[in-house]
Chains A and B, each alone.
Chain A
Amino acid sequence: MSENPAVPQRPTAPGGPLRPESDEPAPAGLRPPSGTRAPGGRRGVPAPPGRRRARLTDPRTYVRAVGVVLPLAFPFYLDRFWLQAGLFAMAAAIGAIGINLLTGATGQLSMGHAFFLAVGAYGYCVFAADGGDGLTGLGLPTWLAAVLAVLVAGVAGGLFSPISGRLSGAYLGIATLALVFIGQHVMFNAHDLTGGANGRDVPPLNLFGLTFDDRELVVADVPFGSAEKLWYAGLLALLVGAQFARGVLRGRPGRAMNAIRDHRIAAGVLGVPVARHRAAVFVLSSMYAGLAGVLLALVFQRTVPDYFGITLSLDYLAMIVIGGLGSVSGAVAGAVFVSLLPQLLTRYSDALPFISAPGTGGIAPGEAARFLYGAAVVLVVLFLPGGLARVAARRRVRTEPGEQ
């Protein structure tokens, strides 16, 4: 134990000082699943009129509205590099929400997230491709292919339940690591499905007659290529994904998940169906990874096996730790940080004093990004428990004392 020996810390201390932050303050006690809705549950409960008016005068409403609307404008102004970086961040955010449900909210360490991303990405290609390039392709409508790919990722998560249901902690973490190795082996060897080392082309998404490819479409004088069009698809996927996860975390399942994280046995004694919840969260998390995989594939326009390695899995864990464990906003913040940091450093390496240009010796931008990224993981855990999202959450708690 690395803690102060004088204060033995129970691994289960509820509400310990550094408990991962969830979007909503957790209820003080664990609620038996007797069928009564928790008073804090917001879904379906109409907001009282007073509160509605308060919302109109509350500046945060407008901040939030701008936060939603502003990204809609980006494709009109930003060039492809930034849009693509943003899309990578969106895909990462969706994936990070998934792993935050599993690792952050339920306490199940998973290092196999990259595998489920790969299932989504390659699944989409297999369902959507028409087999013209000699690889397996079912030629389904692309929207259906995307849905099926997400479902297949969920099924893959379900198939792993004999392992994920029995193990926890470090054992589960390293067992899921096996998935990454198995996945890479399949990606390199199942040539008909995956195209081998050079990967396979990703058929562009086609929705309501609009194809998300590079054929230019001019909107308000701005040429729209694939990045501009996908931007909106990505935003939509992220919003839906985030809202759904928020619902899960705030509702009864979320409480049950937190209970399992805080004390599995106590949760079981209190009547939470632990095994079922753990399996369900694993499946849900895999589906989020699958969705992220589909989006990534669409952005990359080609899936390559090198991407879905162990580093990617570790990146996702770093995202949720940096952003904040157990919350949707934390996952999004962490994903944005981890995906954009290396790109910013590389792009502006010429302007940053301590970074040398590539090929001249000294600290290369790639190395600087690794240093900052590693340091961020360590420093956030030590000095900013709860992650980046906690900073915002703290303010909210202060300004909304009467929430519960």
Chain B
Amino acid sequence: MNRTYGARAAAGALAALLVLAGCSSKAKDDGGGDKAAGGVKTGEGISGKTITLGALTDLTGVYATLGKSVTQAQQLYVKQLNAAGGVCGYKVALTVRDHGYDPQKAVAGYTELEPKVLGFAQFIGSPFVAAVKNRIDGQDKDLVLPQAWSSALLGSSYIRVIGSTYDIETINAVDFLINKKGLKKGDKIGHVYFEGDYGESALVGSKHIAQEAGLTVVEQKIKPTDNDMTAQVAALKQAGVKAIVISAGPRQAASLVGVAAAGGFDVPVIGNNSAFAPQLLATQAGPALMKNYYVASPSLPIGADTPEAKKLVADYKAAYPSDALDNGIVAGWTAASAFGEALKKACANKDLTREGVDKALLTIDSFDIGFGTVQNFTDPAAPSSRESVILQPDKNATGGMKVVQEAAVSKEAEAYTPQA
């Protein structure tokens, strides 16, 4: 090997390099940072007359169904916001990166977008949000609205969960079973849940209310690759459960409800908001779903009977005529609206820096966009709402869901403190 020559050449080149580095565009230039334009302080994410927001989504991976609806709803929101004049005279742009539910791409996407955006209106995948949490809290201080309802994400001033977290939602769901479906002290409930953050967060909730109400939880943990719930139903039937909670995907819910119904195991089943998709109503599980299945959701469904919901449906249909209407649209719209509201407040405060937007969001205490629940963003340690709406699949309703119980908080959910 040419070690000596290599070493000498390397040393020489390195010396030259250190001299050159002074000319690097990365070198710190003083005096950058906040510039005042029209009296409004601006910082990262704003260049020229554009405010850029990021969206880290999943369009090709396991959460593609959710990601597509959320992203399209947010693009629609941004379009309408700009058509109405934007914020403070700035246009808003949404830069979307698809990570396909791959941690490496998600972290890379965050690293790429972070210097260019004011904040993130969407970030799918709570493990990935957790992965960059230290950077967000430490130096970036950018507002991030995750599309993940995990209580593990609470407690940061910059990562703000919108709507009730899975544990609270599950408490409300079981409360519905107790109040409306005759579940009583001493009964057993089955809980079928995904391995991972979503399912385990929900399990915390069901165990909490079970303890409060004197129920016993029979656990069945599954993986996202399990599509056939026959064995789970057999086990729950054997255990003699009176009701079932499912914290999994739409397919698993359909299979569970279908198998239980076909086997004459006639118990109510309630799922979290991610455990339903309107596409299921066209499958064989459709009739069983409409009979025995309920969904706890952080907001009214897309087909809700409010003027705002009707307008959103009409606009969304006009923009994406071939795509299904589901609750992902509501989730995406709500998050984008909350970000937009924070921007408008920050504009009124004449501070569109990241810090200014974070502060503006903290002052929003009763944000209502017409989907039944009121969001309060003043406490970073708490989710923005503890309310859940109970829905039931209905083939004739827009988006396949109708409301059976309006937004409400159970007393157990009110008293419950999520563990961060």
* Residues of chain A at the chain B interface (Cβ within 8 Å): 42, 52, 55-56, 61-62, 64-66, 68-69, 72-73, 76-81, 84-85, 88, 188-189, 196-199, 201, 214, 218-223, 300-302, 304-307, 311, 339, 342-343, 346-347, 357-359, 364-367, 370
Contacts of A69 in B (CB 8 A): 9-10, 13-14, 17
Contacts of A343 in B (CB 8 A): 105, 108
Contacts of A346 in B (CB 8 A): 97-98, 105, 108-109, 112
Instruction: Judge whether A76 and B108 touch: CB under 8 Å.
Output: no
Cα-based distance from A129 to B61 in the complex (angstroms): 32
Contacts of A223 in B (CB 8 A): 26, 28
Residue B48 lies at the interface, judged by CB distance under 8 Å to chain A: no
Cα-based distance from A219 to B22 in the complex (angstroms): 9
Contacts of B75 in A (CB 8 A): 359
CB distance from A201 to the nearest CB of B (A): 7
Cα-based distance from A207 to B115 in the complex (angstroms): 28
Cα-based distance from A294 to B111 in the complex (angstroms): 20
Instruction: Judge whether B115 and A80 touch: CB under 8 Å.
Output: yes
Contacts of A76 in B (CB 8 A): 17, 20-21, 24, 26
Give 16 CB contacts A-B under 8 Å.
A69-B9, A72-B17, A73-B21, A84-B107, A196-B200, A197-B195, A199-B127, A221-B21, A221-B24, A222-B28, A223-B26, A302-B131, A358-B59, A359-B59, A366-B98, A366-B100
Contacts of A79 in B (CB 8 A): 26, 115
Residue B239 lies at the interface, judged by CB distance under 8 Å to chain A: no
Contacts of B2 in A (CB 8 A): 52, 55, 61, 64
| Given A56-B5, A221-B27, A222-B21, also A307-B103 (CB < 8 A) | yes
Cα-based distance from A110 to B101 in the complex (angstroms): 24
Instruction: Judge whether A302 and B130 touch: CB under 8 Å.
Output: yes
Cα-based distance from A73 to B391 in the complex (angstroms): 58
Contacts of A311 in B (CB 8 A): 102
Considering residues A85, A199, A221, A358, which has the most beta carbons from chain B within 10 angstroms of its beta carbon?
A: A358
Report how many A-B pairs have Cβ atoms within 8 Å: 163
Residue B267 lies at the interface, judged by CB distance under 8 Å to chain A: no
| Given A80-B115, A88-B104, also A300-B131 (CB < 8 A) | yes
Contact with A342, one of B10, B28, B105 (Cβ below 8 angstroms) = B105
Cα-based distance from A300 to B104 in the complex (angstroms): 8
Instruction: Judge whether B152 and A73 touch: CB under 8 Å.
Output: no
Cα-based distance from A371 to B72 in the complex (angstroms): 24
Q: Say which one of B80-88, B134-142, B348-356, B377-385 lies at the interface with A.
A: B134-142
Residue of B nearest to A307 (CB): B103
Contacts of A199 in B (CB 8 A): 127, 130-131
Within 8 A of A (CB), among B1-58: 1-2, 5-6, 9-10, 13-14, 17-18, 20-22, 24-28, 57
Instruction: Judge whether A85 and B130 touch: CB under 8 Å.
Output: no
Cα-based distance from A77 to B24 in the complex (angstroms): 6
Contacts of B115 in A (CB 8 A): 79-80
Cα-based distance from A304 to B418 in the complex (angstroms): 22
Cα-based distance from A201 to B57 in the complex (angstroms): 23
Residue B197 lies at the interface, judged by CB distance under 8 Å to chain A: yes
Cα-based distance from A367 to B98 in the complex (angstroms): 10
Instruction: Judge whether A221 and B59 touch: CB under 8 Å.
Output: no
Contacts of B109 in A (CB 8 A): 346
The 8 A-B residue pairs with the shortest CB-CB distance in the complex, in nearest-first order: A197-B196, A221-B27, A69-B13, A65-B9, A76-B21, A220-B21, A366-B60, A197-B197
Residue B68 lies at the interface, judged by CB distance under 8 Å to chain A: yes
Cα-based distance from A188 to B223 in the complex (angstroms): 11
Cα-based distance from A198 to B68 in the complex (angstroms): 23
Within 8 A of A (CB), among B85-134: 96-105, 107-109, 111-112, 115, 125-128, 130-134
Contact with A81, one of B26, B103, B111, B133 (Cβ below 8 angstroms) = B111
Contacts of B99 in A (CB 8 A): 366
Instruction: Judge whether A221 and B130 touch: CB under 8 Å.
Output: no
| Given A201-B134, A358-B71, also A65-B10 (CB < 8 A) | yes
Cα-based distance from A222 to B101 in the complex (angstroms): 33
Cα-based distance from A346 to B58 in the complex (angstroms): 13
Cα-based distance from A367 to B103 in the complex (angstroms): 16
Cα-based distance from A347 to B97 in the complex (angstroms): 8
CB distance from A310 to the nearest CB of B (A): 10
Instruction: Judge whether B96 and A359 touch: CB under 8 Å.
Output: yes
Residue of A nearest to B69 (CB): A359
Contacts of A42 in B (CB 8 A): 1
CB distance from B66 to the nearest CB of A (A): 13
Cα-based distance from A355 to B61 in the complex (angstroms): 18
Within 8 A of A (CB), among B122-171: 125-128, 130-135, 138-139, 150, 152
Instruction: Judge whether A367 and B60 touch: CB under 8 Å.
Output: yes
Instruction: Judge whether B5 and A188 touch: CB under 8 Å.
Output: no
Residue of A nearest to B127 (CB): A304
Contacts of B25 in A (CB 8 A): 77
